[in-house]
Amino acid sequence: TQLLEQSPQFLSIQEGENLTVYCNSSSVFSSLQWYRQEPGEGPVLLVTVVTGGEVKKLKRLTFQFGDARKDSSLHITAAQPGDTGLYLCAGADMEYGNKLVFGAGTILRVKS
Amino acid sequence: DSGVTQTPKHLITATGQRVTLRCSPRSGDLSVYWYQQSLDQGLQFLIQYYNGEERAKGNILERFSAQQFPDLHSELNLSSLELGDSALYFCASSPTGLGNTEAFFGQGTRLTVV
């Protein structure tokens, strides 16, 4: 089974600061997805990256897929309190029925 | 609104009991996933169904079972409940369930076993 490791586990920053969250694996994924989850709610899909080296932007969020398709990063510019939440990366485990495997997540808290 | 509906939203039950959680996927989605989320374990994959057939299995306990019906809704059955089964249970759906397919999550069922 392919595993995804996320870092850091917890991040507390001031409004306006920049941050990067990492998602790493020793295995190759055909694609990686990033989700954001708020307390008591289900994860909400933010983006899917498919091609090695791919960069996608969603307003102040920039997602990158590693060249070898083993890792991904999420960069947030000028964080806002509304960005607070749990950020999860996920990949399809091609070795095991394409189940979606999730990282443990990064809890982000943006203070105003 | 993701289009995935889970019921009930909250469930409180006693140890040893059995409960059924229900999920209606997005219209047109053939694949349903079940996940368990607890504070110390994160989002754990339980089982996946595709068009009525079991597609993949995770660390699902023998006390738990699931099925997907012809109308594509799914049920997760949890029996002989233990205190440690208290968690959020999420259902997600996707169009095909193959690689590169995004999953859309319901709002979850919060199960509390007392």
Which residues on A lie below 8 Å from B103 (Cβ)? 33, 45, 90, 100
Taking the C-alpha atoms of residue B46 and residue B74, their distance in angstroms, rounded to an integer, is 13
Task: Using the predicted structure, report yes or no on whether residue B100 has a pLDDT greater than 70.
Answer: no
| Contact assessment for residue B59 and residue B36, using Cβ atoms and an 8 Å cutoff | no
Phi, psi of A23 (to 5 degrees): -135, 115
A39 DSSP assignment: T
What's the pLDDT score for residue A39? 86
Taking the C-alpha atoms of residue B48 and residue B56, their distance in angstroms, rounded to an integer, is 5
Taking the C-alpha atoms of residue B73 and residue B114, their distance in angstroms, rounded to an integer, is 28
Nearest by CB to B99, from A30, A43, A45: name it: A30
Q: 3-state DSSP call for residue B11?
A: strand
Strands B10-13 and B109-113: parallel
What's the pLDDT score for residue B102? 82
Which residues on B lie below 8 Å from A101 (Cβ)? 45
Taking the C-alpha atoms of residue B6 and residue A81, their distance in angstroms, rounded to an integer, is 29
In Å, what is the CA distance from B35 to each residue of A94, B47, B69? 18, 7, 18
Instruction: Report the candidate in A102, A79, A107 with the shortest Cα–Cα distance to residue A5.
Output: A102
Tokens of A82: 């509304």
Phi, psi of A82 (to 5 degrees): -70, -10
Q: With a cut of 70, which residues of chain A have pLDDT below it?
A: 1-2, 94-98
What's the pLDDT score for residue A106? 96
Task: Using the predicted structure, report yes or no on whether residue B39 has a pLDDT greater than 90.
Answer: no
What's the pLDDT score for residue A1? 57
Whether residue B104 and residue A45 make contact (CB cut-off 8 A), yes or no, is yes
Taking the C-alpha atoms of residue B114 and residue B100, their distance in angstroms, rounded to an integer, is 39
When pLDDT is averaged across residues B55-64 and rounded to a whole number, the result is: 91
Instruction: Report the candidate in B91, B76, B87 with the shortest Cα–Cα distance to residue B6.
Output: B91
What's the pLDDT score for residue A91? 86
What's the pLDDT score for residue A107? 96
Task: Using the predicted structure, report yes or no on whether residue B99 has a pLDDT greater than 60.
Answer: no
For residue B2, the chain A residue with the least C-alpha distance is: A44
Instruction: Report the candidate in A24, A92, A39 with the shortest Cα–Cα distance to residue B98.
Output: A92
Instruction: Report the candidate in B34, B92, B28 with the shortest Cα–Cα distance to residue B67.
Output: B34
Task: Using the predicted structure, report yes or no on whether residue B91 has a pLDDT greater than 70.
Answer: yes
Nearest by CB to A102, from B42, B57, B99: name it: B42
